[in-house]
């Protein structure tokens, strides 16, 4: 099996058995295929082929690529299924795995809409959850019940970029007969492979660094073929199919994932170090900094770097933030992450606006906290822009 960087470049490449075969895949937009006789129609239906909700060649190429990225160096076979958004991936993972009466233990710093789904939507189907701090393993153990089927956490959480102890969480999950499901959206498979540390299922919002150019909404699930078979069957019934063009765009993004993530990471570390040394900055959250409480764990679980996301606080609070944001030339506010350009988001008014001030304080999210998704600019230009905006 070649290295995942090579898989990313070649997965789903068209074969040369057609005259002047293009080197990039065609986009298969047909919502259904045509058949000349009953026998071939029957064979296609038996294999869930030939109807667009079950995916086209573009979906299969993308799924093979992402399964190949995750499988890097592992000897267990993997499969993947694509869906229409990261939230669809979360919904399919939880709803295909659980029955009424079952229970989820989820990290309190999961993506905001994931928490909303656990709190507001799943209880209507009889699925309950306990939300705890995944850095507190005792609290995770206490939260597990005999109906717990899933532990759900994230790598490089947003916006404090915390790194969970995946091996310990996997042990707790497996002792309880539950699955560890990890949302690996932020570091991407180029930097983080949770299955290697005991996770059972990995989830992506393809919307972020995986596609990488802020032009796709999509999601994926990766796991053992037998588990993915169930998730795929549920997705085919539930219906959150990714559009074929979005599958194509995501695979195109994946072609450059390894080099993009290397540059995102080196830029993020350079910016984190610059900010840490700046008098106007009171705190920087980035796991690769020597001063981070997650530094040792990040070196182990994220040896290629901790990804594009960091956050920081200015000593002058929100007023200082306001002035920095309006003076930045290269960097704009965007309520998302993972673009080629550097962007900022203000958690208190975006991802965490649903919490009141005391809940935000408990979660460590002050009004002066800003999250940065570091892009692919030439690093000196980026640092110079922050320097002039902070001066
Ligand atoms: C954005 C995001 C999601 C949701 O993805 P969508 O594609 O917007 O549905 C889930 N988890 C994380 C960590 C995210 O950043």
User: Measured between alpha carbons, how far is 366 from 312 in angstroms, rounded to an integer?
Assistant: 10
φ/ψ bin of 21: left (φ > 0), alpha (ψ from -120 to 50), beta (otherwise): beta
Residue nearest to atom 4 of ligand 1 (CA): 86
Atom of ligand 1 nearest to the CA of 219: 7
CA of 304 to the centre of ligand 1 (A): 22
Is-contact 272 310, C-beta < 8 A?
Answer: yes
CA of 90 to the centre of ligand 1 (A): 9
Of the residues 26, 35, 53, 327, only one is catalytic, namely 53
Query: Active site includes 111?
Result: yes
Query: Active site includes 208?
Result: yes
User: Measured between alpha carbons, how far is 108 from 269 in angstroms, rounded to an integer?
Assistant: 26
Is-contact 221 93, C-beta < 8 A?
Answer: yes
Compute the C-alpha angle 351/218/13, nearest 5°. 145
User: Measured between alpha carbons, how far is 118 from 109 in angstroms, rounded to an integer?
Assistant: 13
Residue 32: CB partners within 8 Å, gap ≥ 6? 50, 51, 52
Of the residues 79, 102, 183, 246, only one is catalytic, namely 183
Query: Active site includes 53?
Result: yes
Is-contact 332 343, C-beta < 8 A?
Answer: yes
pLDDT tens string, the chain, 391 residues long: the values are: 789 899 999 998 999 999 999 999 999 999 999 999 999 999 999 998 999 999 999 999 999 999 999 987 788 899 999 999 999 999 999 999 999 999 999 999 999 899 999 999 999 999 999 999 999 999 999 999 999 999 999 999 999 999 999 999 999 999 999 999 999 999 999 999 999 999 999 999 999 999 999 999 999 999 999 999 999 999 999 999 999 999 999 999 999 999 999 999 999 999 999 999 999 999 999 999 999 999 999 999 999 999 999 999 999 989 999 999 999 999 999 989 999 999 999 998 888 887 778 878 877 888 889 999 999 999 999 999 999 999 9
Predicted local confidence at residue 1, as pLDDT: 76
Compute the C-alpha angle 347/170/97, nearest 5°. 80
Helix (H) or strand (E) holding 130: strand 128-132
- Strand-pairing partners, residue 368, are none
Token couple for 315: 């000593």
Helix (H) or strand (E) holding 131: strand 128-132
Handedness of CA 24, 71, 227, 40 (dihedral sign): positive
Closest listed residue to residue 306, CA positions, set 190, 182, 200, 170 = 190
- The Cβ of residue 76 has, within 10 Å, a number of other Cβ atoms equal to 9
């Amino acid at each position: 099996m070649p290295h995942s960087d090579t898989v990313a470049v070649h997965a789903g490449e068209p074969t040369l058995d057609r005259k002047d075969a293009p080197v990039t895949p065609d986009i298969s937009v047909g919502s259904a295929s045509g058949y000349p006789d009953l026998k071939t129609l029957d064979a296609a239906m038996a294999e869930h082929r030939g109807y667009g909700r079950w995916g086209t060649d573009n979906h299969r190429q993308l799924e093979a690529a992402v399964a190949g990225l995750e499988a890097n160096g592992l000897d267990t076979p993997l499969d993947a299924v694509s869906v229409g958004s990261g939230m669809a991936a979360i919904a399919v993972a939880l709803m295909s795995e659980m029955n009424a009466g079952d229970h989820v233990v989820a990290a309190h710093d999961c993506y905001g809409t994931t928490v909303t789904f656990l709190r507001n939507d799943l209880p209507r189907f009889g699925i309950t959850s306990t939300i705890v701090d995944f850095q507190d393993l005792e609290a995770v153990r206490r939260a597990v019940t005999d109906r717990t089927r899933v532990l759900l956490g994230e790598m490089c959480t947003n916006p404090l970029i915390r790194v969970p102890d995946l091996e310990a969480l996997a042990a707790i999950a497996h002792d309880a007969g539950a699955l560890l499901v990890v949302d690996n959206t932020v570091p991407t498979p180029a930097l983080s492979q949770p299955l290697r540390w005991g996770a059972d299922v990995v989830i992506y919002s393809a919307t972020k660094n995986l596609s990488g150019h802020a032009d796709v909404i999509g999601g994926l699930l990766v796991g053992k073929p037998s588990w993915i078979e169930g998730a795929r069957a549920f997705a085919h019934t539930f219906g959150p199919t990714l559009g074929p063009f979005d599958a194509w765009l995501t695979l195109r993004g994946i072609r450059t994932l390894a080099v993009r993530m290397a540059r995102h990471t080196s830029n993020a570390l350079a910016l984190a170090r610059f900010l840490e040394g700046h008098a106007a900055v009171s705190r920087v959250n980035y796991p690769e900094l020597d001063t981070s409480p997650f530094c040792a764990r990040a070196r182990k679980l994220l040896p290629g770097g901790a990804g594009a996301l960091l956050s920081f606080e200015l000593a002058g609070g929100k007023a200082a933030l306001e002035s920095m944001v309006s003076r930045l030339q290269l960097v704009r506010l965007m309520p998302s992450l993972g673009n080629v350009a550097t962007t900022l988001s203000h958690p208190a008014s975006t991802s965490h606006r649903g919490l009141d001030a005391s809940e935000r304080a408990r979660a460590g999210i002050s009004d002066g906290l800003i999250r940065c998704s570091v892009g692919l600019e030439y690093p000196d230009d980026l640092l110079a822009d922050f320097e002039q905006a902070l001066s």
